[in-house]
Every structure is written in C-alpha cells, then in structure tokens.
Chain A
C-alpha cells in the first residue's frame, strides 16, 4: 500500500482545554475517499480544522508528507492541504475563473500574479470539476450545485495532495448530492488525492466512500463501510432515542 499523505499520531482535538475527540490515529492514503461521520457536535468540523492546521492539536501530532504541520509555514501548509468549509463568502460579483484562481494563492507571489503554469492549473481544475463552460459566469448566477463545483475546483487549483471538505453536500438536493459525491470520488481515484469529507448523509457516504471515519462519543473509529455496518460501529454512533440502524441498507428507522 502507498504511504499515507496525511496521518495523525495520538491526536486529541477540541477547543480550549476541552477535548472533543481523543486518541485519533488516522491515515489518509492517495486515491481514497474517506467519509467522516458523526452526530451534530461530535467534533467533525473541529477535527477537519485541526487536520488543516487552522486549530492547534490539544495533544499529539498531524503529519503531512513527512512534516509535522506545526513546523510548516502557512503557505507551505496550504500547498499540501486544501480545506473547503461551508462559510458564506462575499464573492457574488466574481466570475468563476477568478474565484477558482484564488486557489493558486499558496503558489503565487506577493502580488498574486498568475504565471502560465497557474493559468493551466486553473483551466485543468475547472475541466475536472465540470465547470469549464461557466468560466465567465458571475458566481451569484450559479445554482447551488454549480457553486459547490466551483468551490471544489478552487480546492483542485490549489494542487494539494490532501483535500478536506466540511459538509460539501449540505444544502443540496438528492440529485446534486449524488453528483457531487461521484465527482469527489472520481477526483480522489483519478488524481490520487487523499480526500476526507464530513457529511450527515449516511446513505451517500456508504455508497461512495472507500473508508469511513466514525466519531462516537469522543472516540474515532476507521474502517470500510462494510465493516462499520457489520461490527456495529455505525449503529452505536447513530442509534439514539429508539432509532434502529438497518445493518444491510444503512437506513435509520
């Protein structure tokens, strides 16, 4: 198996002194899509931000490409790890190409001028995300699904081995949820990226992810979707208030 592009050693994450998830041993390998699953408030977003280097670990280490994250400068980190969050942006007036080009920030100089290689990376990212035909469209004239593709293209333009996405399918209808998950899986396998995304959508996660990272009451468990269903990790994480998880379909009843 190829070495992990990002891995953690005995990692505790949380805010201030309070740990939300403890003793995380995670490995993200090239070409694998991992879905981060857990109930609201379990620490999914906190984990993603810690893995991206935006929050300090409470304990333990995050390694990306052989470097401890804390030894890397902010631009060096941003060349290895892309993070996509659902925060609203004041980008309505930007056209798609300009916004995708912001993904080149870690690679460009002080003034942000794009070299020919940067332009090629932007075009390739738009192609891969399927939005090349929207390049000149203002961002606020896009549908929700297209907008999500633009954000994914921006992360692709960042050209990082590791991609972290916080709720990339939130606010999308069923068709777009499946489309985006398929796109992300294709990117992970086709580009050999290590991808970790959080989601509330158990069904699409089970269908598309190569691996699951289940957070349950402060502990993280990693394995394949099949294992998670069989050994009851998913059931323990989600069976609350009399709800029962069907071990075959993954539906919650």
Chain B
C-alpha cells in the first residue's frame, strides 16, 4: 500500500480531473473532450464550456486542494498540533478580513493603484500573515497546543466580527459579491485570473517540498531541531510566510474553505503511515488535489436544482476526520 500511494493518488487525480471536465449540466462525451483538449476542430459549444468554464474550475480545484493541504501539514508540524489548519487557526478568517477590507472598504485604501487581482491576493496574504504572526506570538506565551487552538478560534471569531462591521457599513452592491465569496467556490476564477492563483501556489508548493528536512527536525521539538543544526527561527519565519502565501492566495480566489486542508494530512498519514515529510508532503499535495476535485464534483452533481455550497461539502468530509483525530490523538503526541 505504502509504495503505491503516490501512483494511486496521481491516477485518482487524473481520473477525477477528466470526470470534472466531462460531467455537468451539458455532458461532453469522451471523443469530443479529446478533440477540444488536443485543439482539433470541435463543436464550438463544447469548446466554450470546456475552455472557459470547466478547465479553469478544475485547475482551480486541484491547485486550491493541493495548496491548502500542504499549508495545513506545515502548520500541524510547526505548531506541533494535529488540529492545526488554515481554517481552524483563524488564518482563512484573517485572509477574509483582508479581502473584506478591499471589497467593502476599498475606497479607503490606496492599494487600488495595484491591478485588482494583485490587490486581492495582497490583501488576503496580509490578513493571513497578520493572523499567523499573532498565533506565533500566542504560541510563545501559551506553549500548550490546545490552548493555542482556542486562541486561533477566538482570532477567527474576531476577524468574522470585524467583517460583519465592514459588511454593515459597506456598499450593498459589493456586499452580495462578498457573501457569495464567503460560501467558497472554485467557479469564480477565469482563465485571465488563473495565473494570479497558480504562480503563488506553485511557489508555495515548491517551498513546501524543499522544506521536508527542517520540518522533520521540528517534529523533535525546537530545541532538538536546533541541536541538530537547524536554524529554527529562520525555518519558522519561512514556514509562516509560505503558509500565509498559500492560504492567503487560495482564500482570495476561492473564499474561506473549511476543513479540506486540515483533514487531508490525516488521511495521508493513514495511508503512508509515517510522519517523514519527504514522503508525507508529496502524498499530501496529491491527496489534497484528489479530495478537492472530489468535493467540487459533489458540488456540481448534475440533475439538482440548487447546488450545495463547497464549504458544506468540505465540512461534511472534514468534520468526521477531526473527530476521529481527537478520539485517537495518542499516536500524534507520543514521545520519543
């Protein structure tokens, strides 16, 4: 099982990606799908549906799942807490606050000199980073993982409260867009915007893969990591920045997505049965893609009137995983 994890996950990812393209209100048969993707002459309706709607959405789903999962794994190791994740530690809420400031309070901000996509990413990144830095300060003071988690949840509430204030004061037209954004969706990213999502996520994933060694050292605790020659302060700063970049960018484009990041590393630990990041990180990235595509496929299930919001689907998947982790948390904290 362990040897086949990566190939199996990759295969599942490809299969789901293709399903994602083929299924929908308009089913695209396999030969037509092949023609469109290979650039051969095809039905113009199919071309539009695939290139303008389904392809960017599938790519967004894969990138967001991979990024959130990698982000969560880094945070779980950094805070030595199995329940850490972008949505739980208030990081998504921080990013949402950054976005709300831009979408609802935009006239106040000088950032409008930037292209709107960059401003959105920058706002979400700043919000995510702000919460992460506060969490780092809290981590130094409380030291205990569960207290820290509660601090994170409180920070999340605080951000949500500030967002509510902004909503009450903001222009009604922007409000509707913001509320829809808050339910989470992979549908909003157009081809033109895709690069703004993909480049930061690719950078973040690359860094996550390169950081397997220092993340492994952090498993032993900061002191032992330092005794093994790890530059702990620098590693912590870098991990925080990368986690903020991933969570911030993805939240900016897809809304705050609950549980997907947090749950994925646990599913992967169950499959590869190790805490070694050299093996855990690639599998987590692939598994994040798979689960994210799967969730969005459920969102897009054909034949129903209204669709289920993405956040409801990810919570349906993620909440039981969290419960399971709490019930058998012993393995995570056992010492060596």
Contacts and interface: CB of A to CB of B under 8 A. Distances in A.
Interface stretch (A11-19, A26-34, A99-107, A196-204): A99-107
Interface residues of B, number: 31
A190 interface: no
Interface residues of A, number: 42
Interface stretch (B36-44, B178-186, B327-335): B327-335
Nearest to A147: B336
A54 B232 CA distance: 11
A82 B227 contact: yes
B80 interface: yes
A105 B228 contact: yes
B204 to A, nearest CB: 17
B34 interface: no
Interface string B55-90: 000000000000000000000010010000000000
Interface in A60-97: 73-79, 81-85, 87-95
B333 A95 contact: no
A98 B274 contact: yes
Of A52, A88, A90, most buried by chain B (CB within 10 Å of CB) is A90
Contacts of B212: 111-112
Nearest to B77: A90
Contacts of A73: 229
Given A92-B333, A94-B274, A147-B336, A52 B213 contact: no
A158 interface: yes
A75 B228 CA distance: 7
Interface in A132-163: 138-140, 142, 147, 150-151, 158
Interface string B207-237: 0001011001101110110111111000000
A99 B336 contact: yes
B139 interface: no
A184 B230 CA distance: 25
A92 B334 contact: yes
Q: State the main secondary structure of chain A at its contact with B.
A: mixed
Given A99-B336, A111-B212, 20 more contacts: A73-B229, A85-B223, A85-B224, A89-B220, A90-B77, A90-B219, A90-B332, A91-B334, A91-B335, A91-B336, A92-B336, A93-B274, A93-B331, A94-B276, A102-B217, A102-B220, A110-B210, A111-B213, A138-B273, A140-B330
Interface of B: 77, 80, 210, 212-213, 216-217, 219-221, 223-224, 226-231, 269, 273-276, 278, 330-336
Interface of A: 49, 52, 54, 73-79, 81-85, 87-95, 98-99, 102-103, 105-106, 108, 110-112, 138-140, 142, 147, 150-151, 158
Closest 6 CB pairs of A and B: A78-B229, A112-B213, A88-B335, A92-B334, A75-B229, A83-B227
22 contacts: A54-B227, A78-B227, A84-B224, A87-B224, A89-B224, A90-B77, A91-B335, A92-B331, A92-B335, A92-B336, A93-B273, A102-B220, A105-B217, A105-B229, A108-B213, A110-B210, A111-B212, A111-B278, A112-B212, A140-B331, A151-B336, A158-B228
